Amino acid sequence: MRDLSVAVFRPDDERLADAVELLDSLGATAVSDPMLAVDPTDAVPRTDADYVVLTSKTGVELVAETDWEPGEATVCAIGPKTADAIRAAGYEVDIVPDEYTSSGLVAELESALDGARVEVARSDHGSPVLLDGFEAAGAYVHETVLYQLVRPEGSGESAERAAAGDLDAACFTSSLTVEHFLEAAAERDVRADALAGLEDATVGVIGEPTRETAAEFGIDVDLVASEATFNALARETVELLL
């Protein structure tokens, strides 16, 4: 079997290392091209909420570096990776939705939210689905932006590879990775060729919002992962290649 090249855009930490290791175990080679870097805001979540929602491992780690405590609040994680990070930081996890998405968490909580105070602590690029859904359920919602997500300097190797027709697949894990991929391609003056290269590649995304963003930019998506985890996305993308 020929070597399969798969672009991954995870932040340059253990998440990228884990992605490379996973793809290697699946018989593919990762084209590591981080498209997200964290710029902390030093903000701290409120302490007077009935529910506190944490949406990422990064957010949990930043919160854990402060003196913040959830008190009597019900602590909610958007998925199992975030839940693991919350427990590792010494907090208890009360709710993880069956569907690891913003809409899944809204569905899990909406019947209990009328009149409740909900604190959502996350990045500056969080989906409006959470805030809109909680407010529609009758909650008083406050958002704390824990960090900004920026595109790292030097990103764009995957765009060059796509433009050259040297990329078999790409695994987009958020709308922002799609946007940053195209920004990096434009910066290297290969945007049109990179888009053409993705037409010949297998494009996998982690959820419906990411698929919608890709479609807005003219990127055809071949698969939406069966669950919103990178493991599922990588495995299913490689399976489609074989």
Triad 155, 11, 162: Cα angle to 5°:
40
Asked whether residue 234 carries a pLDDT value surpassing 50, the answer given is: yes
Asked whether residue 132 carries a pLDDT value surpassing 80, the answer given is: yes
Pairing of strands 37-40, 28-32: unpaired
Does residue 70 contact residue 174 with C-beta atoms inside 8 Å? no
Residue 145: per-residue pLDDT: 97
Residue 127: per-residue pLDDT: 84
pLDDT digits (tens, 9 = 90+) for 56-108: 999 999 999 998 999 999 999 999 989 999 999 999 999 999 988 899 999 99
Asked whether residue 37 carries a pLDDT value surpassing 50, the answer given is: yes
Q: Which pair of structure tokens corresponds to residue 231?
A: 């493991």
The CA-to-CA distance between both ends of the chain, in Å, stands at 9
| Matching CATH number, 4-36+152-240, of 3.20.20.70, 3.30.1490.100, 3.40.50.300, 3.40.50.10090 | 3.40.50.10090
Domain 39-149 belongs in CATH node 3.60.20.30? no
What is the C-alpha R_g of the chain?
A: 19
pLDDT digits (tens, 9 = 90+) for 188-214: 999 999 999 999 999 999 988 899 999
How many percent of the chain have pLDDT more than 90? 89
Residue 1: per-residue pLDDT: 47
The ranges assigned to domains in the chain are: 4-36+152-240, 39-149
Residue where the block lists tokens 């709710």:
95
